Amino acid sequence: MQIFHNPNYNFLRWRWHALILSWIIIAAGIWVIYTKGLALGVEFSGGTQVILEFVDKPPNIDLIRSALDARKVGGGGQNIVVARYGAEAERRVMVRLPHTGEEQGTSLTRMADEVERAIKEANIGAFKPAGSQVVGPIVGKELTQKGFWATVLSLAGLLVYIGFRFRLSFGIGAVVATFHDLLVTLAFLAFFQYDMSLNVIAAILTVTGYSTNDTIVIFDRVRENLRGMRRDAIDEVVNRSVNQTLNRTIITAGTVLMSVIALFLWGGEVLKGFAFTMIVGTITGTYSSVFIAAAIVTFWRGKTAPRVPVAAPAAVDAGSKKKNKR
């Protein structure tokens, strides 16, 4: 399938614009995380999460919060998170409380029972439990460490593999692009206040693999073109390679993007964070393969592609010198 016929776009012309745009997004994300914090799911923060479905009328968030505060459930105040869960027509509410008891025995489910009892006694409306999740502080800390090391080790593995498979400059470009994708994705998660959950971590690692695969396809074409374009500038070689793989990049990214958008729209509230992360990651992964990874290679390698010595002319010159001596 051909979308573009013999494309010849100068992508590297916009590399500085792309880098500036990326830095603006990343800086804004760091500022939001610093001022508001990155929302952590119950898997990492530890605590109790209860989903309640009201059956007779839409839930009143303020009345639910007041009922929990009045009975000091979870310590009350700002420690409690009460938010609408899913579509408005589903009439669901999520209540999240920090974990205050010991991580053993029936204390893990005590808060969930207290939440239901407090709302029932306040006579806010008829409801039924739609799900609950309880994670103690020890488990939350362990999951945080494992999520961190999974991300770090995946980046280290990428550097080693691409550095060995191609060249060090290519490996550096791929790792910088992947790290860029991670920071941009975290920035958008902070902008839209999506919780950092295990689903989101899975999406981030999936995006890491997708972006790396896209980058390797471009780098493989760069390596092939370096053999036939020995006397061309590295910018020209990279631009030619990106244009040659443009159809494949657009088709792959478009297919993935349509799938994750459908998942975001109709996959339910549980998968919303995962699908949102995949949408952002697919876009920034494609963008970084062209503008970030390729740009890093051109900065590292300089303006001229390496010139590979050709054996045949050297042999001819040696033969002519012998004839001249005779």
Q: What is the pLDDT of residues 284-323, one digit of tens each?
A: 999 998 888 888 888 876 644 444 444 444 444 445 444 4
Task: Return the percentage of the chain with pLDDT > 90, whole number.
Answer: 18
CA 133-280-47 angle, to 5 degrees, is: 15
Higher pLDDT, 97 or 244: 244
Q: Report the candidate in 24, 84, 81, 16 with the shortest Cα–Cα distance to residue 49.
A: 81
Using DSSP, state whether 134 is helix, strand or coil: strand
Residue 254 has pLDDT above 80, yes or no: yes
Confidence of residue 75 (pLDDT cuts 50, 70, 90): low
Say if CB 99 and CB 137 are below 8 A apart: yes
Structural domain 47-135, CATH architecture: 2-Layer Sandwich (3.30)
Phi, psi angle pair for 3, to nearest 5°: -90, -45
Long-range contacts, 146-153 (Cβ 8 Å, 24+)? 147/44, 147/198, 147/201, 150/201, 150/205, 151/182, 151/201, 151/204, 151/205, 151/208
Confidence of residue 190 (pLDDT cuts 50, 70, 90): very high
Residue 41 has pLDDT above 80, yes or no: no
Task: Count the helices and strands in the chain (H runs, E runs).
Answer: 12, 4
Question: What topology is assigned to 11-37+140-301 in CATH?
Answer: Multidrug efflux transporter AcrB transmembrane fold (1.20.1640)
Residue 277 has pLDDT above 50, yes or no: yes
Query: How far is CA 257 from its chain centroid?
Result: 14
Predicted pLDDT of residue 310:
42
Q: What is the pTM of this model?
A: 0.77
Confidence of residue 140 (pLDDT cuts 50, 70, 90): low
Where do the domains of the chain lie? 11-37+140-301, 47-135
52-61 confidence digits (pLDDT tens) = 899 888 888 8
Predicted pLDDT of residue 302:
64
Confidence of residue 283 (pLDDT cuts 50, 70, 90): very high
